[in-house]
Structure 1
Amino acid sequence: MGQKRGTLLVCATPIGNLGDITLRAIEVLKSVNLIAAEDSRVTLKLLNHFGIRKPIVIYHQKPKRLEWLLQQLKEGKNIALVCNAGTPSISDPGVPLVKRALQEGITVSPIPGPSAVTAALSVSGLDAQRFLFLGFLPRNQRERKELLEQIKALPFTIVVYESPHRLRENLSDMLEVLNDRVVVLCRELTKLHEEVALTMLSELKRRYERETPVGEFTLVIEGARAERREPDWSKVDETVKSMLGEGRSVKEIAKEVSSKFGVPRSEVYKRSLKLARNFQSS
């Protein structure tokens, strides 16, 4: 009988306020054999705050380190994967370890918790039923504009992470490609200087032409608005006349035709009454 393998526990940690850590995350960090971290200095502060002492291994800098971590899991060690803030593998270098663990048949289990994406969406007031998360936009301007061009016509809310030193040029490109849109600025979420502000891309660009960007930014941007096209009323009228000829009632016609052509039922009803009078007098 083979040796029992360990579990890779993908553990979310606070994005700012340490009080946001979950009870389960604390239990996991206390119970695992070691912690795979993005930056040992950041993780050590978290562990010290909660009085936790565990070996910390940096997981993304050397390929041999990843192989070593996989071997530890195969030998039965339980490992907690953490990033500097929020949920690992979300715009984060933890993906290769998770992917390799799954490929090797090792159990991977989520320990849910804070995430800047969901935190920003929750306070944005924008539609979050469907959204596009783009992480950090490409550093190369041509690649950045190409990506924005690909998604500019989509009706879904967009979420992006921004660093302060790239915010100005990225806002300029977003305004150029996406045109002016509603945007919710989420800065320093859960921290002392937290800011959530509803504005426009043009206004935000002007603001940071005057101010120096400071802090960590998540931008929630309105999706493309559907263009309203004027209905072809001649086709609407033809359909109404055809249905009147079949002996259908005006009420019934208004309901069916408004649904078919995407036009107001009241307008179809008025046109149907007029056409019905003409139909009866002819």
Structure 2
Amino acid sequence: MPDFQYSGKLYLIPTTMGAANPMQVLPQQVKEIMESLDIFIAENEKTARRHIKQLVPEKQQSTLKFFHLNKFTEASEIPSFLNECKEGKNIGLLSEAGCPGVADPGAEIVKIAHNEGIQVIPLVGPSSILLAMMGSGMNGQRFTFNGYLPIDKKERKKEIKDLERFSFEKQEAQIFIETPYRNNKLLEDLFQLLNPTTRLCVACDLTLPTEYIMTKPVSEWKKTKTDLHKRPAIFIFQREI
């Protein structure tokens, strides 16, 4: 077993993916670890505090310390966020939704922790990518998460056609996401560009009361009206032999 250079640990703390009861989607261990932490790294302090209050309402908010990790954070600042781990204190890394480090800027902190010899402990929680894959009925043995597709119309068209070709050649499910307010436009593009027999899964509002997961050929999707506007969604498709 490797020796860690410092006694402080970095806990990767999952969050809910919407207005859900935390204890319905998070294990008891997450609550117990949260109770022991006073230092956090998060994208948005306001939403991080809200999540902590939901999970551990008795925790004194005034004692909490936050480091902000988002698009405005200078790269040179980030390594210092883990200084207190080097002093023997534990730190929690929070995502805005779901699991830290997956489609999330927290991956950079985790990378630095490994380089510095700080133990990284991921906690169990909801991943929209894996939940969607589980519910899709597509190839769970071979799949690729592609993040966001290009915004440029020409580039997006090429990317969709390339991913469909890869899915056919490798028999591999292709997973991607979109900014919620552009979901309906993406769906229109998929209907227009994909082969009618290609299977498409739409999974939105995962773990919420309005959760919706449906897989069917593109030809069948075209017959129904689906409104995904501003609903967090995962898209998966696979063209089969």
TM-score of the pair, normalised by structure 2? 0.80
How far 1:203 moved relative to its partner?
5.0
Unaligned runs of 5+ in 1: 227-282
Residues 1:163 and 2:174 are matched in the alignment? no
SS of the residue corresponding to residue 166 of structure 1 reads helix
RMSD: 2.5
SS of the residue corresponding to residue 81 of structure 1 reads strand
SS of the residue corresponding to residue 218 of structure 1 reads strand
**Whole-angstrom distance in 1 between the partners of 2:228 and 2:141:** 33
The count of aligned residue pairs is 222
**Whole-angstrom distance in 1 between the partners of 2:90 and 2:215:** 43
Aligned mate of 2:48, from 38, 43, 46: 43
SS of the residue corresponding to residue 90 of structure 1 reads coil
**Whole-angstrom distance in 2 between the partners of 1:38 and 1:203:** 39
Contact 1:152 1:177 in 2 (8 A): no
Q: Which has the higher contact order (CA 8 A, sep 6+)?
A: 2
Specify the structure having the higher radius of gyration (Cα): 1
Amino acid at match of 2:239: A
- Runs of at least 4 residues off by over 4 Å: 202-208
Residues 1:224 and 2:239 are matched in the alignment? yes
Superposed CA offset, 1:136-160 (max 9, x none): 2233334433433443223111222
Higher helix share: 1
Q: 2:149 maps to what in 1?
A: 137
**Overall identity of the aligned pairs, in %:** 27
Superposed CA offset, 1:6-48 (max 9, x none): 1111122222322211111111211124111122222212111
Contact 2:6 2:117 in 1 (8 A): no
**Whole-angstrom distance in 1 between the partners of 2:100 and 2:228:** 29
Contact 1:59 1:65 in 2 (8 A): no
Aligned mate of 1:62, from 48, 73, 89: 73
Residues 1:91 and 2:93 are matched in the alignment? no
How far 1:207 moved relative to its partner?
5.0
How far 1:162 moved relative to its partner?
2.5
Distance 1:85 1:225, change over 3 A: same
Amino acid at match of 2:10: L
Amino acid at match of 2:175: V
How far 1:92 moved relative to its partner?
0.9
Q: 1:186 maps to what in 2?
A: 203
Unaligned runs of 5+ in 2: none
